[in-house]
Structure formats: structure tokens, C-alpha cells
Structure 1
Amino acid sequence: MNFIKMQGLGNDFIFIIDNKNEFIDNEIEIAKKVCDRRFGIGADGLVIIRKSNIADAKMVIINSDGSRANMCGNAIRCFAKYLYEINSIDKSIISIETGDGIKNVELKTNNNKVELIKVNMGKASFSGKDIPLRNKKELINEKVKIEGKTYKLTTLLMGVPHTILINNNDEHTIEEGRIIEKYNLFIDGTNVNFIKIIDKKNIEVRTWERGAGATLACGTGCCASVVALKKLGLCDDKVKVKTLGGSLEVEVVNDEVYMIGAADFICKGELY
């Protein structure tokens, strides 16, 4: 089985092609095996490229622990670069089928290489039914007590569930994401974003990812953080988001969320 490894802001993925749906029965085990950083290749997730009847290609994402994700911002930028440079889909706008619907991706290229990727991430939702929350209509800037500690949380669906908390004074550690992720209010768990507000145009985000733990960056987390801060009146429509793995630009236009950033190849090889 041939693979290519890619990364977006240090969020790394193993890519394999499955045009014949050959891995349906064991793709969870494949993901856990190849993502293991000691006994496998090592990655935050496995991305399977499949044919689509409604878009240019279908993206299937499985986290390193074997759980599935409907959407991943860093993965979809890598996916678009792969389609253009490896699969030779010669378009400036590519449609990608995801678990969160079809996403349209605009490519900025130079000499047949993708330099920047702009993704229409769609609209976020604060509805408790969409996230989903247990017996709660919404969670916006609300104090929640978890294992004896009080957090002020805002939760939304940005393709996948995301919870944000402002961490300007480093009062929280990234490892606290572990207990927030599995708090029983969140029916399907949640990603957790720890935010430092520099000013209304610049923020820093660290994300504890559901199913992967602390990562260098999370694309949907960056988008969710900007949407949540905008909801609270704490940022502008266009924000530069700094992560440990690099920076993204996130812009909200008429409630549509756009993410702009890069992606890179790391290596390719053969899985035994």
C-alpha cells in the first residue's frame, strides 16, 4: 500500500488512495497502526482519498485513535494540494466531499505548485442540537464546573464540535483539554481551543483535538475560535491566527467562514 505524508501547520496526515472501497472493513485498524509514532509511520490522522459522485473527490478522515472526523481544516488544505499536484486535477477551484458536506477550495498556484489554499468552511452553528449538547440549547460564554475547576466556555459546531476558552493569563494548561473533551455535556465529545487575544486582528490558539490530543494546530479550531470571539464582540471579521505550527488567516463574510493557509508534502513510501 503506497502512502504520502503531508502536513498543514504541523498537523500531519497519512494519505492513501482507495478508489475501490477496499479498506471499509479494516480502515479503523489501519489508521491506528499507521498513525502510531513508534510502531507505524506516525501522524495525527489517516486521510483516505475516494471517488465521489457529487464532487471532484471524497475525503475520509480517521483520527489516530481510530475515531472518525467529519471535517478537518488542515487536512482539507493538504487534500486539495494532493489533488492538484499528484492527481492532476487541473482546476483553480476544487470541490471536495466531506462528512460535513461539499467544500469548495480555491487554489493559488505558481509554476504548477500550490502556494495557498482558501477553503469555504461553511457556516458555524451554536445550536445545542447541532453540536450536540446534552439537554442544553446553547453554551455561550457560560461558566461550567468540571472536576472541581470552573471554566468559562463557548461551544459551536464548525464541521466538528469545538469549545473555546480565553486563556490570556495562562491560567489553563493544554492538558486540561483532556477532561473538557469528555465532559458529559458534550454528547460526541469536543475539541478544546485555548485562546490568547493579542488584539482584534490577531490571536493565538492551542488546540486539544478530540481523538488526537494536543496538536501543533487545528484548522477547524482556528475557524471556530474566530467565529466564537466574533460572537462575543472580541475580534474583527478578518483575523490572523497563530498556532505552534504556523499561521492561518480566517475571515467571516455573511456568516460564511473562509480559511486561508498553506500545506506541504513530507515524504512518500510503501506500507508493509
Structure 2
Amino acid sequence: MKINFFKYQGAGNDFILIDHTMSPLENIDNSLIEQLCHRRFGVGADGLMFVTKHKDYDFEMHYFNADGNLGSMCGNGGRCIVAFAKHLGLIEKETNFLAVDGPHYARISENGEWVDLQMIDVNIINKDNEAYILNTGSPHYVALQSDLKNFDVFTEGKNIRYNNIYSEKGINVNFVEDKGDYLFVRTYERGVEDETYACGTGVTAVAMAMAKHKNQTGHIKTDIKVLGGDIKIEFDYDGNVFTNVFLCGPAKLVFEGEVE
């Protein structure tokens, strides 16, 4: 059987997307997903998503990590799936869809290549020594790091992800360098088990952690640079709860094709 797929990327975070609106999602072959995401023996991607119908929302998002396992919320994946839904004719300028962490609202540009995705509210930030720990749909570790350009993100990120505290459930590890006008972020992602060019829930967590670190409150806009490009984060923070959180950035179709 041939499977029609679409390849999208959001700031270098790339995904395989499959339209599954005409039939229920069942009997998922996790090994096939892992194979399709493999960068040498498959299409190559940080994750794979299915779009399905939902009676109460425009569509439902099902996200699988590159290792083939069902994943938690993926922010850049969420933006890409909104662009894909527009491509499929499911939505036009805005949408309300369902993901694993609950409902999400998003708005999309006319050309379908820029998406502002509303993320969940966050009211808990913990500390692990000097690092910040929070969940923005996926669990994140945020640590400040100087000379991040030359830092060994893979080795240090893997060490934290697999240490005695986090190894069982896993955690995404973000390193951030404050450049003044923007934040430079690099991320080691669980499920991919490598550094990725961008992580949407990760940069959202970083922006929140830095707001808390700097004792900032009010309406906050943060420019972030990742290996794959530029992302913007916007939210309201009263010192206790982050609300009206938006992850804003590109979501572009790379190509489409068929696999057996």
C-alpha cells in the first residue's frame, strides 16, 4: 500500500504529515514511523503527525516522535499541522484544534507560511540547582549557558536527559544565551535523542524561564534565534501565571511524495 505524505518544516524542525481524515486512526505501526523518520533509510524528520477529524474541533493532531513512540505536545509541529490543515482546506485564517495537551487556537497568514499558535497556560516553575524546570505541553529543563555557539549540546543535553532524576520519563534540555536583543537557544530533544534545529515548546519554556529569571512581568515579547531560524514568543505574566501564550514562526511545505 502506498502512503501519501507531506514534509513540512518550522524553523528547521521538520515533520512528516499524513492526512487521515477519511478513516479512523488505529493499528499504528510504530516501527514504520521510526523508519520513515530515519534520515538515512526513510524520508527523514524530527517527528510524524496524523491529521484526523474531530466532532468538536476543526481537526485533531496526533504526534509521534522520531523513535516511533507517541509524543507529548510539539509546538513547531502544531504550527506545521495548522499550515497543513490550511493546505487541505480544513481551515482558512484561524482554527481551534485538539492536541494531546488539550485544545489550541491558532491563526495563519494569507500565504499559509506563518502561524501564531496559542500554547497552554503555565503556573508552575521549579528549580534544579540553577536550572528552571517547567512544562509547556512537554517537560523542559532550561539552563543559562555562555558561548553557546561552541557548547557541546549533544553530550551535555544527553547527560541531563538520562541522569538519575529525568531518565525514566525523559526531559527536553534547553540551553540559552542572553544576547540582549534576543535569546539564542539550542535544544536536546527526548524522542529524537539528539539536538534539533528548533523546539517550539522548548523556546516557549525558555522565554518563560528568562522572564522569571529577570523578574519581568506584564505583556512580554521575546525574539529567539535557533539553529533553524527566528521564532517569537509572546505572553502575559503577572508573577505567578503565564497566560495568552503564543508561539509564532514559519511553517513551510518542503515537498510531498509517496512511500510503500
The equivalent residue for 1:4 is 6
Q: Which residue of 1 aligns with 2:223?
A: 240
Task: List alignment gaps of at least 5 residues for structure 2.
Answer: none
Paired with 1:84 and 1:63, the residues of 2 have a C-alpha distance of 23
Structure 2 CA distance for partners of 1:63 and 1:262, relative to 1, 3 Å: same
Q: Deviations over 1:218-259 (max 9, x none)?
A: 111111000011111166711100001000110112522111
C-alpha distance in structure 2 between counterparts of 1:81 and 1:169, whole Å: 35
Which of 146, 149, 153 lines up with 1:174 in the alignment?
153
SS in structure 2 at match of 1:223: helix
Q: Which runs of 5 or more residues in structure 1 are unaligned?
A: 128-138, 144-151
What are the within-5 Å matches in structure 2 for residues 35-54 of structure 1?
35-54=37-56
TM-superposed CA distance for 1:17, in Å, is: 1.9
Q: Deviations over 1:44-64 (max 9, x none)?
A: 111111111221111111111
- Once the two structures are superposed, residues 200-226 of structure 1 have per-residue CA deviations (whole angstroms, 9 ceiling, x without a partner) of x41000010111121001111111000
Provide the aligned length of Structure 1 versus Structure 2. 246
Shift of 1:30: 2.1
Q: Are the aligned partners of 2:113 and 2:252 in contact in 1 as well (CA < 8 Å)?
A: no
Counterpart of 1:148 in structure 2 is none
Letter matched to residue 174 of structure 1:
V
Give the direction of change, closer, same or farther, for the CA distance of 1:41–1:106 in structure 2 (3 Å limit): same
RMSD value, Cα: 1.8
1:226 is paired with a residue whose SS is helix
Structure 1 position 188, deviation (Å): 1.6
Residue 29 (structure 1) aligns with: 31
| Secondary structure, counterpart of 1:269 in structure 2 | strand
Matched AA of 1:184 = N
| Structure-2 separation of matches of 1:26 and 1:89 | 23
How far is the alpha carbon of 1:69 from its aligned partner? 1.9
Q: Which amino acid aligns with 1:183?
A: N
Alignment identity in percent? 31
Partner of 2:232: 249
Structure 1 residue 121, shift from structure 2 partner = 0.5
Letter in 2 for 1:168: S
| Mapping for residues 1-272 of structure 1, pairs under 5 Å | 1-19=3-21, 20-22=23-25, 24-85=26-87, 87-109=88-110, 113-126=111-124, 139-140=126-127, 142-143=128-129, 152-170=130-148, 172-175=151-154, 176-186=156-166, 187-199=168-180, 201-212=181-192, 213-233=194-214, 237-254=220-237, 255-256=242-243, 257-272=245-260
TM-score (norm. length: structure 1): 0.85
